[in-house]
């Protein structure tokens, strides 16, 4: 009787499962680096081969936020934390805490090209989790590789810098290693143009302070951090002619974004005019900071080693709002480019933050006597993930916008803006773009 039940019922249960006995056969996968190194492991997520720029992040949590951060577009993200996926993936449209920007994570999809992990967690546990990281990657057509020595990859990238790579999956594993010239280089493309909103849109239109946001690939928590401080946010495409509409706004915000800021010189040129003719507060994060810097006359260069992780210490060199000179703040970062340190700073600008590890420029600000309120920071005060040491910079920005709007600023004398930001400040890259 029992034997007859087993014979009749088991085939129904096993429908759709692999027909062989034992665990499913692992699909092989390999990461090839342009420098000739290869790391063999197993595929999870989408069984698909992919090119990208290989970078590593030292974050130990928030893999869901990192993977949906648009600044990771085109990148093969190696996690140094050995076990990834153990708290699964939440629903990105979860109703709590997300009404304002419509998503729970940093954008509506996985943005990185692929992920590499030491050990992917097949079992996950969290009260908000709805699926495993493997199923999430599969749904978004993003390949993952597990079972590789991520420490070895990281040590290599730490020596030779960020390196182009290719993930080959399944039958592609036996294909020849691509020649150096065959690796796709995302930095040659204007990734910002691919990801930025095509049309302006509004969030929280009833907010009391009107903020225009230039969208270079905004993380949701940047928009959320503004909305939560009662901003009426208008998100504009990265190359929008802000100067034509600027009088409608109380402040301007420039977001993070993927790729080489050199592709966004149009935005820097527009911002030069804004800086010369407009005296309302301006705040930029990461790519936004690089655009402010280029508009101010700094050069932006590609670093050999980017900074990616949630434990980057920065030293404040000036006080402003909640930030106190002389303090070290631990910050969340994800960047490959930086403003080149120059001495002296362009007229009207001063150092704001410096990175305690590599001494790179982490922030610039307008000087007190410039009559301006402009800040750019290379790190991410909004975190998601990462520490909230500098989150109050959003409050500082909104406070300045409000003060300007209601003219309650304690400033007594405000110099003429055009005398502080001469638009003739030499800038090689901008000069080339302007002449073209």
Ligand X SMILES: NC(=O)CC[C@H](N)C(=O)O
**Residue 280 zone, left/alpha/beta (φ > 0; ψ -120 to 50; rest):** beta
x/- map, 220-259, ligand X, by CB under 6 A: ------------------------------------xxxx
Q: Which is nearer to ligand X, 72 or 79 (CB)?
A: 72
Size of the site for ligand X (CB under 6 A): 12
- The answer to whether the peptide bond before residue 344 is cis (omega within 30 degrees of 0) is yes
Distance set, CA 261 to CA 47, 195, 281, 302, 401 (Å): 32, 14, 22, 9, 26
The residue annotated as part of the active site, out of 263, 289, 310, 380, is 380
For position 183 contacting ligand X by CB under 6 A, the verdict is no
- H or E element, residue 269: helix 265-277
Report the DSSP pairing between strands 251-254 and 282-285.
Answer: parallel
Is 264 catalytic? The answer is no
Minimum distance from residue 217 beta carbon to ligand X (Å) = 7
- Complex with ligand X: residue 233 or 254, whichever CB lies closer: 254
Taking the complex as a whole, how short is the minimal distance between the CB of residue 364 and ligand X, in angstroms? 15
| Cβ distance to ligand X smaller for residue 334 or 383 | 334
SS3 content of the chain, % helix, strand, coil (to 5): 30, 30, 40
Is 199 one of the annotated active-site residues of the chain? no
Helix (H, G, I), strand (E, B) or coil at 134: helix
Report the nearest approach of ligand X to the CB of residue 86 (Å).
26
Q: How far is CA 278 from CA 126, 153, 243, 409, 425, in A?
A: 48, 47, 9, 16, 17
Q: What residues numbered 264-303 form the site for ligand X, per CB under 6 A?
A: 286-287
386 binds ligand X per the rule CB under 6 A:
no
- Report the C-alpha gap between 90 and 103 in whole angstroms: 11
Task: Considering the candidates 65, 106, 362, 382, report the single residue annotated as catalytic.
Answer: 382
Shortest reach from residue 59's CB to ligand X, in Å: 13
> Is 392 labeled as catalytic in the residue annotation?
no
> DSSP string covering 399-424, please?
HHHHHHHTT--S------HHHHS-TT
322-341 footprint of ligand X as x/- string (CB under 6 A): ------------xxxx----
Strands 50-57 and 163-169: antiparallel
Q: Residue 71 interacts with ligand X (CB under 6 A)?
A: yes
Helices (H), 281-374: 287-296
Catalytic residue among 112, 137, 264, 286: 286
Which residues are identified as catalytic?
A: 286, 380, 382
- Tell me which residues touch ligand X (CB under 6 A): 71, 256-259, 261, 286-287, 334-337
């Amino acid at each position: 009787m029992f034997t007859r039940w087993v014979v009749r019922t088991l085939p129904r249960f096993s429908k759709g499962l692999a027909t062989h006995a034992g665990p499913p056969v692992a699909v092989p996968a390999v990461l090839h680096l342009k420098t000739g190194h290869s790391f063999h492991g197993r595929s999870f997520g989408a069984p698909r081969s992919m090119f990208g720029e290989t970078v590593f992040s030292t974050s130990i949590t928030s893999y869901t936020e990192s993977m949906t951060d648009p600044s990771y577009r085109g990148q093969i993200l190696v996690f140094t934390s050995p076990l990834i996926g153990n708290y699964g993936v939440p629903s990105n449209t979860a109703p709590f805490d997300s009404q304002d920007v419509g998503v729970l994570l940093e954008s509506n999809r996985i943005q990185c090209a692929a992920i590499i992990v030491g050990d992917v967690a097949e079992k996950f546990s969290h009260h908000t989790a709805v699926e495993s990281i493997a199923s999430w990657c599969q749904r978004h057509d993003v390949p993952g590789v597990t079972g590789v020595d991520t420490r070895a990859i990281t040590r290599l990238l730490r020596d030779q810098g960020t390196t182009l790579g290719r993930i080959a999956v399944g039958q592609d594993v036996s294909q020849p290693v691509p020649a150096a010239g065959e690796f796709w280089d995302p930095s040659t493309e204007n990734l910002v143009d691919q990801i930025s909103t095509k049309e302006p849109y509004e969030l929280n239109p009833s907010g009391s302070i009107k903020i225009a946001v230039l969208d270079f690939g905004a993380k949701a928590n940047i928009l959320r951090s503004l909305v939560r401080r009662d901003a009426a946010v208008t998100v504009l495409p990265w190359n929008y002619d802000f100067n034509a509409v600027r009088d409608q706004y109380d402040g301007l915000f420039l977001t993070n974004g993927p790729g080489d800021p050199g592709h966004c010189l149009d935005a820097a040129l527009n911002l030069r005019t804004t800086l010369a003719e407009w005296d309302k507060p301006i705040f930029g994060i990461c790519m936004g900071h690089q655009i402010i810097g280029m508009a101010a006359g700094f050069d932006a260069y590609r670093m050999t080693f980017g900074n990616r992780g949630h434990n980057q210490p920065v030293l404040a060199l000036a006080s402003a709002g909640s930030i106190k000179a002389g303090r070290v703040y631990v910050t969340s970062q994800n960047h490959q480019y930086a403003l080149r340190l120059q001495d002296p700073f362009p007229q009207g600008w001063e150092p704001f933050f410096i990175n305690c590890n590599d001494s790179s420029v982490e922030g610039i600000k307008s000087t007190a006597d410039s009559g301006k309120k402009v800040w750019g920071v290379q790190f991410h005060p909004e975190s998601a993930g990462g520490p909230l040491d500098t989150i109050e910079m959003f409050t500082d920005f909104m406070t300045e916008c409000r003060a300007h709007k209601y003219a309650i600023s304690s400033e007594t004398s405000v110099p003429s803006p055009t005398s502080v930001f001469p638009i003739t400040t030499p800038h090689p890259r901008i000069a080339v773009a302007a002449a073209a």
